[in-house]
Structure 1
């Protein structure tokens, strides 16, 4: 009976999957959301600062491959850390050391937008992306409205009166 069970290809596959699952869960301590921390390796904010070369708040696969060889993470693979498969490692996916707490999420700024600001955006927003680029706004005072310097006038930056 046991011999015939193992001779069937489907049963062999099931047994192999179970072995892989059991071995995989024992080899590296990690939680379900984050990649494993490597002893002596950077973690948390330090991990982000090390790998995020262009400082855009996420680690691209290219950044990972460029920095990884010079760190304790050189033997680790990308998928261990990119949990949501979006090709970027964010602060919510970086490894943490034992006992290290989650970094505080960035605070979202809530802006009250007036009807006059909405009218201003609608008037100049040619491509209907809810923000005005320099190309769309021909006024001389563009930089006065673009308060965060990102090259766009967003509804909360539009003049209120």
Structure 2
């Protein structure tokens, strides 16, 4: 008795509902590009250079939601300084509070406080460390302000007498 070996035949792929086999379409005439063998070493490539960190030209901050145009061109000021520049209120004493160069004694982010700092620095011009020319200029400014106040108070419309000029370094009295 001879037993015959039965060879198993794989079942064909199930047909799609349209009657076609479930195999992808064949490409017509396209050939794959021949690539270099994988065993060849690639030359070492340097990583791309990182872009230079952008800094605000006024306050030196690096992080801002938007870069704005300043006196040196587009995208040179941070958002806070750019808004101040556009309205004409960007002063050296102004700094955003998160700026790396912010010092509470020298800077503020409030316009009112900036104006107080500017007035204080004008009146401090006559301190001990100031030169005689700076002291004379500060005295002359104060005299002009006093004259302006007197002329504003003058009811009869006549001009107020001008105050005598303060003796400066060139007008010092002789001993």
TM-score w.r.t. length of structure 1: 0.23
Greater relative CO, 1 or 2 (CA 8 Å, sep 6+): 1
Higher-helix-fraction structure? 1
TM-score w.r.t. length of structure 2: 0.22
